[in-house]
Amino acid sequence: MFGPEFGHGKPFDLALLRHALDAMGSPQHSLPPLIHVAGTNGKGSTIAFMSAIAEAAGHKVHAFTKPHLFQLNERFLVSSRFADDRALIKAAEDIARVEPRLTQFDAQVAAALLLFREHQAALTLIETGMGGRDDSTNVIDAPAVCVITPIGLDHQDALGASLAQIAAHKAGILKRGAPAIIARQEREVMEIIEAHAEAIRAPLFRCGAEWDAYASHGRLVVQTEERALDLPLPTLQGRHQIDNAGLACAALLFSNAVALDDDAFAAGVANAAWPGRLQPLTRGPFSAPIRALGGEVWVDGGHNAHAGTALSYAMNDMKTRRGGTNVAIVGLRKRKAARYCCAAGGGSRLRPRDCKDRLRSRRRNRRSALACRRNAKRGAVARAACADLWFILAGGRSVSRRERLNALVQPLDNL
């Protein structure tokens, strides 16, 4: 489970994974009711909301998500607990004996399905890795519900250069007869999804049409034709989390997979946690110098233009709340479209030529931790940003950008 993740540049082929699953008794056919989630952004947060809501009602949940922050185990939630090392290693060994040629992600999907079959739960939640139609998770034949979060440009090297091509890939998770719960989309994207749903006879439930979710008077309102929920706003930060929470509620309402009362929806929305997604760093030596200046440090794993736009709204909200100046430090891997991500992240006030002063962007290879540290004092991103990462420095007393950047990067020498 530690080889090439997807095999970028190679043709999509699920034959080896299907063969391995068949040899292990087709675990994908022996699972609790399953919700399959595709989209560009918001998949993990939407699953976090659904998991928290189900658990608030007393149900055990299986969930497979990516990426992990610290340990591979984080991708495998088994009966509402992360898989332990022993169980994960045993699943990996069983898979390797059957088919050692699987890519890393194929093997992880197989491991998740094996672990889920062996443990009790009321609900299974699975996030696609990349795309949908040819994604490893699309070995699932009979989901209770399919969910598509907002679609934007990402992984163009594998999914296609246009929104229409990417949307066609992601719409490929829809299945005949399974309700398809769709977040708000660009018109071009929605037309692709609608056409595919009609062709395969998948019932379509679109945000703004068959259901809706929005903030009103400090509350989250979720409405379908048969039910209305008046809920607290999400604890997860950012306007986009209101949309993700609404999508999660709609998916559970239309699935009828588990029994849920209004209290469970309220508790789940209020208590859902998803680390590394617009998360404040409120303690520890890394953010201490900024906090000493009266400022805040936030971290987010956004890595495409759609995420950059969401973060720009969040940064504007921070500025309204605290005043002062926000500084964003961005580190992206080589294959990411850093220019478009950073331009979107600056909103209407940031032009690409302003990036030198307003937004410090550096492309970093994951293996180049040493280079990240060496460049940190020049205002580049820290070692942690050898993956795709944003640091946002918000507010604080009246000090220069240089002072705030220096306060952030000085602790990097101790990382």
Q: What secondary structure does DSSP assign to 129-169, as a single string?
A: SS-STTSGGGG----SEEEE----S--HHHH-SSHHHHHHH
Helix (H) or strand (E) run with residue 112 in it: helix 104-118
pLDDT tens-digit map of 129-151:
998 999 999 999 999 999 999 99
pLDDT tens-digit map of 248-276:
999 999 998 999 999 999 999 999 998 88
Output the pLDDT for position 337: 59
pLDDT tens-digit map of 194-210:
999 999 999 999 999 99
Output the pLDDT for position 49: 98
pLDDT tens-digit map of 289-343:
888 888 888 888 776 777 777 777 788 888 787 777 777 777 776 665 555 555 5
DSSP one-letter code for 349? G
* Strand partners of residue 387: none
> Environment class of residue 229 by beta-carbon count within 10 Å: exposed (0-12), middle (13-18) or buried (19+)?
buried
- Please report, for residues 159, 298, 329, 407, the alpha-carbon distance to residue 288 in angstroms, rounded to integers and kept in the order given: 41, 12, 17, 9
- Which residue is it, tokens 């997860």? 236
Q: How confident is the model at residue 220 (pLDDT cuts 50, 70, 90)?
A: very high
Q: What is the pTM of this model?
A: 0.81
Output the pLDDT for position 294: 84
Helix (H) or strand (E) run with residue 193 in it: helix 187-200
At residue 37, what are phi and psi to the nearest 5 degrees?
-120, 125
126 Cβ contact list (under 8 Å, min separation 6) = 34, 35, 36, 37, 63, 64, 112, 137, 140
Map out the domains of the chain as residue ranges: 15-271, 279-414
pLDDT tens-digit map of 66-114:
988 889 999 999 999 999 999 999 999 999 999 999 999 999 999 999 9
Assign domain 15-271 to a CATH class: alpha beta
pLDDT tens-digit map of 350-407:
333 333 333 343 334 433 333 333 333 333 333 333 345 556 666 554 444 455 445 5
pLDDT for 414 beyond 50: no
Angle at 20 between CA 15 and CA 23, to 5 degrees: 125
Angle at 412 between CA 75 and CA 339, to 5 degrees: 70
Output the pLDDT for position 312: 79
